[in-house]
Chains A and B, each alone.
Chain A
Amino acid sequence: KQEVTQIPAALSVPEGENLVLNCSFTDSAIYNLQWFRQDPGKGLTSLLLIQSSQREQTSGRLNASLDKSSGRSTLYIAASQPGDSATYLCAVRGAAGNTGKLIFGQGTTLQVKP
């Protein structure tokens, strides 16, 4: 059974710092991995999607990497801003089937202080 773990559960940094969020998964047979952002009381917004054959994806100040063999992904946020404060969730889709089901980690709640 696939399990996804995110460390740390919470993180507080001063504005301007570069930071890394971690995601690990137990079954390396994945189809892709996605990082989502969730603002308080809101739904989830997809940030980056990495296919199993890819090593990283970049969007603006965000860079996500994937090491499938070790079961790890990181989300790197450069020059953090107060507006980056949110909960970040990673989710994996298993390689079998075509249903689109995602297995989520518990999330990392980020606070960027001005």
Chain B
Amino acid sequence: NAGVTQTPKFQVLKTGQSMTLQCAQDMNHNSMYWYRQDPGMGLRLIYYSASEGTTDKGEVPNGYNVSRLNKREFSLRLESAAPSQTSVYFCASSEPRFRDGYGYTFGSGTRLTVV
């Protein structure tokens, strides 16, 4: 099925460990995003990539890095995990069109726990 695929679905890390969250979309969308969702706070944008080869910080980028590997893939890396990064992470993609608005597609999420 067409859509956004995130791996892994669940992960437990120890404080200080590193890991990379993977995201891939097969809809040929130009823009990709990483959000985190915390209880009572909705979704907050971590990083985004408006097009292949570009990345920009969102609302809460500290402690994260991203790589837009190609048009399909956008990864999120935690270099030294902290308990404050315990969250559910969502990847999304969209095709920005001024006239039609945005067709946003979200992945199913990665539940990360840092102990």
Contact = CB atoms under 8 A, between A and B. Distances in A.
Interface residues of A, number: 28
A43 to B, nearest CB: 4
Nearest to A90: B42
A51 B98 CA distance: 10
A21 interface: no
B101 A102 contact: no
Contacts, number: 67
Interface stretch (A11-19, A60-68, A72-80, A93-101): A93-101
A6 B115 CA distance: 31
Interface string B95-112: 010100111111111000
A42 B45 contact: no
A49 B104 CA distance: 10
Interface residues of B, number: 28
B41 interface: yes
Contacts of A44: 43, 90, 92, 104, 106
19 contacts: A4-B42, A6-B42, A32-B101, A34-B102, A42-B108, A42-B109, A43-B4, A43-B90, A44-B104, A45-B106, A49-B102, A51-B101, A99-B31, A100-B94, A100-B102, A101-B33, A104-B42, A104-B43, A104-B44
